[in-house]
Structure 1
Amino acid sequence: MSRHTDPVPHLIAPDARFQASFLVAMAEFRALGHGGPDDGSTAGVCLREYGDRWEDPEVFAEFVERFRTPCGPDSLLRYDVPCSTFWYVDGDTYLARIAIRHRLTPYWLELGGHIGYDVRPSARRRGHATGMLRAALPIAAGMGIDPALVTCDSTNSASLKVIEACGGRLEDVRDGVRRYWVPTTPGRRG
């Protein structure tokens, strides 16, 4: 496999060529307890659905295709709204995932917002979440989303710093979930 040499971390569509790095990242999530039957996180769903068989390149390619499918019965995450998922990578290394939901239902308005993300445990506290969210905002703007609702648990101080660094303005806190509106167009961001 040839080394991919982009100068900085960037967003891409999920790609099977990142299989080795992605699987190491998922092992990191599993080590933190993700993947159990009650884990509704994206990492949890991926681990339950494919974690015991995605070492096979053909199975991983199927996983990637389902992960890239924005909605419907073939989508791995089965969101009730169209959703575009991107991976944040550096060279050949998978760092993180970000999802942009194209519209909000009452559920997503209350709890999840337009944008959700996670960073692999070994890549945290290096500015990747902030860089990734900043890179995703123009994509959201291109989808007609402005501002974007981004939420985090009140106890997640790292995520609230990321959202605020990207111009997020706190609307309120509901049942322990902080709800921020983040401008997606450059003239509106702080």
Structure 2
Amino acid sequence: MPQLIAPTVRVRESFLEAMGELRAEGKGGPGDDTAVGREIRRFGDEWAEPAGFVRYLDWLRSMTRADVARPLGLVPCTSLWYVEGDAFLGRLGLRHELDEFLLELGGHIGYYVRPTARRRGHATAMLRAALPVAHGLGIRSVLVTCDTTNTASRKVIEACGGIFEDQRGGKLRYWVPTRAQQSDGT
């Protein structure tokens, strides 16, 4: 059964295959300002070497800490990988706080599923599994956004209890409670 785990060298080969799939879709190009796009540009040439991959994992782990210097626009973020055995299926980034940009457009959580694993419910399972992690960080409701044209992501957010707030800058904005609703509706 797939599960969210901390990034690990154990799934390196599958991770590399997934990054190849994402690159084939155009991720990592100069105009790609997604988290995965930036990481492909920054680390992609190093991933093939085991030591370079370990440096990448160390960097991901360091990004969770508030005391680490980070590039402008990045907040503390926990990266979780969705895996089944040694197969990398996707990634979820859980931002611990919201700056002005994230409050408007980016949200607390961003995720992707590798192209060959899409349309199997993985994104919904990933988001659902991340909600207790967010609750453990003291976040009672996460902001999750998606492009207005991304029907699949909208359905994922709504399936996880997303409450639509509004549309801004081409994004739909939803708040998702991080704890299960109790039987009395509270």
TM-score, structure 1 as length reference: 0.90
Cross-structure match for 1:52? 45
- Aligned with residue 97 of structure 1, among 87, 91, 100: 91
SS at match of 2:80: strand
Counterpart check, 1:82 vs 2:62: no
**How many aligned residue pairs are there?**
181
Aligned-partner residue type, residue 151 of structure 1: T
- Please give the per-residue CA displacement for 1:82-113, whole angstroms capped at 9, x wherever unaligned: 11110000011001111111111111100111
- Aligned with residue 113 of structure 2, among 100, 119, 124: 119
Tell me, in whole angstroms, the C-alpha distance in 2 between the residues paired with 1:78 and 1:67. Answer: 16
Cross-structure match for 2:104? 110
Q: 1:78 to 1:26 in 2, by over 3 A?
A: farther
Q: 1:55 to 1:78 in 2, by over 3 A?
A: farther
Cross-structure match for 1:3? none
Structure 2: segments with no counterpart, 5+ residues? none
Q: 1:188 to 1:81 in 2, by over 3 A?
A: farther
Structure 1's consecutive aligned runs of 4 or more residues displaced over 4 angstroms after TM superposition are none
Counterpart check, 1:37 vs 2:30: yes
Tell me, in whole angstroms, the C-alpha distance in 2 between the residues paired with 1:78 and 1:20. Answer: 31
Cross-structure match for 2:155? 161
Aligned-partner residue type, residue 110 of structure 2: G
Tell me, in whole angstroms, the C-alpha distance in 1 between the residues paired with 2:49 and 2:27. Answer: 21
Cross-structure match for 2:177? 183
- Please give the per-residue CA displacement for 1:97-155, whole angstroms capped at 9, x wherever unaligned: 11111111111100111111111111110000000000000000111111110000000
SS at match of 1:110: helix
SS at match of 2:4: strand
Structure 1: segments with no counterpart, 5+ residues? 1-7
Cross-structure match for 1:145? 139
Tell me, in whole angstroms, the C-alpha distance in 1 between the residues paired with 2:121 and 2:166. Answer: 25
Tell me, in whole angstroms, the C-alpha distance in 1 between the residues paired with 2:111 and 2:153. Answer: 9
Aligned-partner residue type, residue 144 of structure 1: G
Instruction: Report the RMSD for the aligned CA atoms in angstroms.
Output: 1.8
TM-score, structure 2 as length reference: 0.92
Tell me, in whole angstroms, the C-alpha distance in 1 between the residues paired with 2:74 and 2:82. Answer: 24
SS at match of 1:61: helix
Cross-structure match for 2:16? 23
